[in-house]
Amino acid sequence: MILDVLIFLLACLALVKSSGYTVTSISHLARHFRLTEFVTSFIVVAIVSALPETFIALISAFRGEPALGLGTLLGGNIADLTLILGLVALAGGKTLRIHSSIVRKDLFFCLLALLPILLALDGKIGRIDAAILLISGTVFLLVLLSERASFHKPYQNGNHALKQFALFTAGITIMLASAHFIVTSAEALALTIGIPDLIIGLILVALGTTLPEFTFSLQSIRKGHDSLAVGDLLGVVVVDATLVIGFIALITPIAVEKSLVALIGVFTAFAAVFALIFMRTDETVTKNEGLALVLFYIAFVMVQVFIT
């Protein structure tokens, strides 16, 4: 067990470090091609930020344990909407500014965040459900791209495109290897402790995979790019909830416990609603609201541990 814990921690550290370099490199490449701030973070950086949990979910699916990947994705989404957004708001200035183009799509965002949970209420996410998720996520991203002119100013000043591409490639390679060791060690821990794979992914693995977007968002607000910070968080949630879960279920249909999924769905719904209500209030997230989001995540973890 001690060896499994050590492997898990070292693999998480390697995953966080490599994903941090990968996110930084892809943001430089996006600047090089002069994409807008929000599209850069919501689509380009968000997709890269989602790679750690994507690799974990893929490896879990191929090993016949898709529940671990599903727990990582759903837990990561709740953490992004509460803990990470709250910490970013607390670490920033007086308030975290939200661009109006973000909150105008709040209904679509909530529906997409909850879609995989609604599809799983029958105890399974099958291949038809996977197709629905993949189509929904693709349509949403295409709508965003079609409106890219309205999303803030160009995000420029990229440099050393070849160097950044090399860092990006190296980061992806390390992430893939780290994800493999995280999955194998997490499975071993779940068997030793007697905790379901879904819970291990929901709390332990999910926290590690949210660190890249936290780092990127924190750097963005300190440089005055609030749209980048919020876009990255929301983008990861949409990508995880639709494209990643859809792709995993397409490979291996995911069987889940109905009551547990329903509970996760309640927390996800409240997390999405609270986050978007705070964003709509004067188009800012204050420090008090950030603290409330962090406390909400702590309550979520305590409930999951208590039930387990």
pLDDT tens for 228-254 read 667 667 777 888 899 989 988 888 888
Longest dimension (CA), the chain: 53
In a domain, 128, yes or no: yes
The verdict on residue 9 lying in a domain is no
Q: What is the pLDDT of residue 134?
A: 94
Cα(first)–Cα(last) distance of the chain, in Å?
Answer: 20
Q: Which of 89, 132, 135 is nearest to 275 (CA)?
A: 89
- 288 by Cβ neighbours in 10 Å (0-12 / 13-18 / 19+) ranks as exposed
At 155 the pLDDT is 47
Say how far apart CA 218 and CA 97 lie, in whole Å. Answer: 13
Residue 284: inside a domain? yes
Domain span including residue 231? 41-152+197-307
What was the pLDDT predicted at 65? 75
**Domain-embedded: residue 165:** no
Number of domains in the chain: 1
How far from the centroid of its chain's Cα atoms is residue 134's Cα?
16
Q: Is residue 231 one of the residues assigned to a domain?
A: yes
Q: Where do we find the tokens 């790019």?
A: 225
Asked if the structure places residue 23 within a domain, the reply is no
pLDDT at position 200 is 74
Cβ neighbours around 96 below 10 Å, total: 26
Listed in sequence order, the residues at least 6 apart from 280 whose beta carbon sits closer than 8 Å to its beta carbon are 103, 106
pTM over 0.85? The answer is: no
Question: Which ranges of the chain have pLDDT less than 70?
Answer: 27, 30-46, 49, 92-95, 97-107, 147-160, 197, 213, 216, 219-220, 222-229, 231-232, 281-283, 308
* CATH number, domain with residue 217: 1.20.1420.30
- Establish if 291 belongs to a structural domain: yes
Which tens digit of pLDDT belongs to each residue from 79-92?
A: 888 988 888 888 76
Rounded Cα gap, residues 73 and 117, in angstroms = 11
pLDDT number for residue 56: 80
165 class by beta-carbon count within 10 Å (0-12 exposed, 13-18 middle, 19+ buried): middle
With respect to residue 2, please indicate whether it lies within any of the assigned structural domains. Answer: no
**pLDDT of 130:** 93
pLDDT value at residue 225: 63
3-state secondary structure the chain: CHHHHHHHHHHHHHHHHHHHHHHHHHHHHHHHCCCEHHHHHHHHHHHHHCHHHHHHHHHHHHCCCHHHHHHHHHHHHHHHHHHHHHHHHHHCCCEEECCHHHHCCHHHHHHHHHHHHHHCCCCEECHHHHHHHHHHHHHHHHHHHHCHHHCCCECCCCCCHHHHHHHHHHHHHHHHHHHHHHHHHHHHHHHHHCCCHHHHHHHHHHHHHCHHHHHHHHHHHHCCCHHHHHHHHHHHHHHHHHHHHHHHHHHCCEECCHHHHHHHHHHHHHHHHHHHHHHHHHHEEEHHHHHHHHHHHHHHHHHHHHHC
**pLDDT score at 9:** 81
**pLDDT number for residue 135:** 94
Beta bridge partners of 95: 286
Question: What pLDDT shows up at residue 18?
Answer: 78
Task: Report in angstroms the alpha-carbon separations of 235 from 44, 171, 217, 227, 298.
Answer: 9, 20, 12, 11, 23
